[in-house]
């Protein structure tokens, strides 16, 4: 008998979608800033100007969203807690890691029954959050150059002499591609889990509820 479980609280869902939209918008505008693939004939246009404005606007949205999610890791329910992101720290978690790995490598037909994040996804998210922080830090350090002595320059400008302006730019660019790679994997895995677990995974990130069969939980 399946029961309805409230898994993803609204701050988790909200920050998820703010992150998702931000990553799409920041990738498109960021790619344009790095390689302006459209040239316009009239000087009265403001294409790059708008691209940069949108990029900076969403940079702030993304930063606040990531920050909110990190804070929620200490305030939210057991599925949002920072603890779920380190499954390797507990013996139960290690079982889940092995089980999920065997599922992904086609050895087992079904992943271990869990309510929240699967163990491998949780571990991947730690890496992704690390990449988010790298993007935010390199991005705002580069952004701060428009106003030497300003807030961003004072707080992050010290990175420029260490890694070099161009080094930060290259890092910012490469991490964008890593996040695009992650997004492809993430959408695929979400679909896969939807199909295999049959518990409403895809819908849960909109509504927050999953259909869980307690018998399947180990």
Partner 1 sequence: MNVDQKSTQVSIPEEILQKWEAKGVSRRDFIKFCTATTAALALPLSFVPKVAQALEDKRPPVIWVEYQSCSGDSEAFLRANQPTAGDIILETISLEYSDVVMAASGHLAEEAKHNAMKKYAGKYVLIVEGSIPRGAGGGYCTIGGKSAVDDCKELVKNAAATICVGTCAAFGGLPAAAPNPTDAVSVMDLVPGAPIVNLPGCPVNATNLTATIVHFLTFGKLPAVDRLGRPKFAYGKRIHDNCERRSHFDAGQYAEAFGDAGHSQGWCLYKLGCKGPETFHNCPTCRYNEGVSWPVMAGHGCIGCSEPGFWDTMSPFYRRLPNVPGFGVEDTADQIGLGLAAATAVAFGAHGVVNIGRSYFGKNDSDADQE
Q: Which residues bind partner 1 (CB under 8 A)?
A: 31, 34-36, 38-49, 104, 106, 108-110, 145-146, 148-149, 157-158, 161, 164-167, 169-170, 173-174, 176-178, 180-181, 184-185, 188-189, 191-192, 195-196, 216
Q: Closer to partner 1 at the Cβ: 83 or 198?
A: 198
Closest distance to partner 1 from the beta carbon of 179 (Å): 10
Q: Closer to partner 1 at the Cβ: 1 or 42?
A: 42
Closest distance to partner 1 from the beta carbon of 75 (Å): 33
- Nearest to 137, CA basis, from 39, 62, 54: 62
What sign for the dihedral angle of Cα 112, 78, 205, 88?
negative
3-state helix, strand, coil split of the chain in percent (to 5) is 70, 5, 25
Q: Closer to partner 1 at the Cβ: 20 or 67?
A: 20
Closest distance to partner 1 from the beta carbon of 36 (Å): 6
Closest distance to partner 1 from the beta carbon of 135 (Å): 14
Closest distance to partner 1 from the beta carbon of 89 (Å): 27
The residue behind tokens 């507990």 is 90
What sign for the dihedral angle of Cα 146, 147, 152, 157?
positive
- Nearest to 59, CA basis, from 103, 23, 7, 99: 23
The CB density around residue 86, as the number of other CB atoms within 10 Å, is 13
Q: Closer to partner 1 at the Cβ: 90 or 165?
A: 165
Closest distance to partner 1 from the beta carbon of 204 (Å): 20
Q: Closer to partner 1 at the Cβ: 49 or 91?
A: 49
Name the phi and psi angles at 120, rounded to 5. -70, -40
Q: Closer to partner 1 at the Cβ: 12 or 26?
A: 26
Largest Cα span, the chain: 66
Dump the DSSP string for 120-189.
HHHHHHHHHHHHHHHHHHHHHHHHGGGSTTSHHHHHHTTHHHHH-HHHHHHHHHHHHHHHHHHHHHHHHH
């Amino acid at each position: 008998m399946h029961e309805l479980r409230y898994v993803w609280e609204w701050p988790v869902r909200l920050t998820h979608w703010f992150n998702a939209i931000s990553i799409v918008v920041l990738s498109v505008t960021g790619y344009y800033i790095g390689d302006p693939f459209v040239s316009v004939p009239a000087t009265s246009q403001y294409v790059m100007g708008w691209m940069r404005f949108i990029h900076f606007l969403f940079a702030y949205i993304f930063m606040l969203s990531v920050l909110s999610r990190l804070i929620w890791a200490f305030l939210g329910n057991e599925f949002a807690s920072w603890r779920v992101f380190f499954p390797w720290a507990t013996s139960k978690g290690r079982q889940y890691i092995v089980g999920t790995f065997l599922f992904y490598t086609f050895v087992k037909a079904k992943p271990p029954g869990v309510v929240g994040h699967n163990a491998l996804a949780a571990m991947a998210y730690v890496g992704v959050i690390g990449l988010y922080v790298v993007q935010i830090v390199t991005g705002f350090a580069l952004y701060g150059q428009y106003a030497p002595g300003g807030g961003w320059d004072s707080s992050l400008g010290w990175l420029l002499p260490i890694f070099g302006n161009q080094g930060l730019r290259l890092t910012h660019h490469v991490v964008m591609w890593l996040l695009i790679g992650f997004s492809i994997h993430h959408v695929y895995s979400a679909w896969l889990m939807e199909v295999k677990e049959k518990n409403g995974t895809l819908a849960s990130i909109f509504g927050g509820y999953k259909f869980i069969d307690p018998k399947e939980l180990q």
